[in-house]
Amino acid sequence: MDFTLKVWRQASGKAPGGFKIYGAKEISPDASFLEMLDIVNAGLVRDGEEPIAFDHDCREGICGSCGLMINGRAHGPLRGVATCELRMRAFKSGGTIVVEPWRARAFPIIKDLVVDRTAMDRIMAAGGYITVKTGSAPDANSVLVAKELADEAFDAAACIGCGACVATCKNASAMLFVAAKVSHLALLPQGAPERARRVEAMLSQMDADGFGACSNTYACEAECPKEISVSHIARLNREYIRAKLG
């Protein structure tokens, strides 16, 4: 398969950026999108050019570091996959693919397709945890959790923090990310003691880092690689009201 790539190149956050055109030739349809970029970069290095900078780590759809805007879609045209899981057979051979970084004020560009997503780490540090005494692991059945609650908490915990929800929202909102993290702990008894402080602190940090308000377009759910439901945003709102009234 052959493709024409239109890739955003930017030397640093303070340097001007723009699109550059590259060819991707003889790409296997089974290659992942990141493997395709590896092949293009190998050619650039052979030609003495600067390779395209992009984020990646596990390449198994777990770490959440590989986010790219591909033809205007976060993680590309398929639902329920991260960029590293996207295969080139999802595209038509001979076509043009536009590749951009996440676009959000809270995600400043570092270089090319790499953005600084430490704002999401600050949200987690503000309250995305529980305070417990360390020691040996408790017995699995020492704290009983209803199955329906455990299942829903597990669904929320599937969020990998990739930032697709932010990148695809017209307001660059992090509400789905924050909702998943708050909902996960609010559903479990271990998270109950700090639930009020948690939701207030995480939302406050979200606002401080310049994320926008929820746009209510459900774009975040549509582009989330783990298909996190916007129902968790409703729970986030309830948790916040409860904290304020409590």
Q: What's the chain's average pLDDT?
A: 95
38 with 71, same domain: the answer is yes
Domain holding 25, by residue range, is: 3-110
71 with 159, same domain: the answer is no
Which pLDDT band holds residue 246 (cuts at 50, 70, 90)? confident
* Cβ(227)–Cβ(221) below 8 Å: yes
Distance CA 194, CA 155 (A): 21
Per-residue pLDDT tens over the stretch 85-130: 999 999 999 999 999 999 999 999 999 999 999 999 999 999 999 9
User: Which of 32, 153, 29, 119 is CA-nearest to residue 81?
Assistant: 32
One DSSP character per residue, the chain reads --EEEEEEEESSTTS-EEEEEEEE-S--TTSBHHHHHHHHHHHHHHTTPPPPP---SSSSSSS-----EETTEET-SSSS--GGG-BGGGS-TT-EEEEE----TTS-EEETTEE--HHHHHHHHHHSS-----SSPPPTTSS---HHHHHHHHHHHT-----HHHHHSTT-B-HHHHHHHHHHHHTSGGGGGGHHHHHHHHHHHHHHTT-B---SS-HHHHH-TT---THHHHHHHHHHHHHHH-
Per-residue pLDDT tens over the stretch 214-232: 999 999 999 999 999 999 9
CATH value at residue 234: 1.10.1060.10
User: Which of 128, 125, 104, 124 is CA-nearest to residue 116?
Assistant: 104
- Structurally, the chain folds into a number of domains equal to 2
Helix axes 175-186, 231-245, angle to 10 degrees: 70
Is pLDDT of 82 > 80? yes
Enter the tokens of residue 187.
Answer: 């559903």
136 with 229, same domain: the answer is yes
CATH value at residue 101: 3.10.20.30
Which pLDDT band holds residue 212 (cuts at 50, 70, 90)? very high
pTM for this structure?
0.93
60 with 147, same domain: the answer is no
Per-residue pLDDT tens over the stretch 48-66: 999 999 999 999 999 999 9
48 with 129, same domain: the answer is no
pLDDT of residue 58: 94
pLDDT of residue 103: 95
Helix axes 147-157, 175-186, angle to 10 degrees: 150
127 with 105, same domain: the answer is no
Is pLDDT of 137 > 90? no
Which pLDDT band holds residue 135 (cuts at 50, 70, 90)? confident
> Rounded to 5 degrees, what angle do the CA atoms 126, 130, 134 make?
125
Boundary of a domain, candidates 90, 110, 130 = 110
Boundary of a domain, candidates 110, 134, 159 = 110
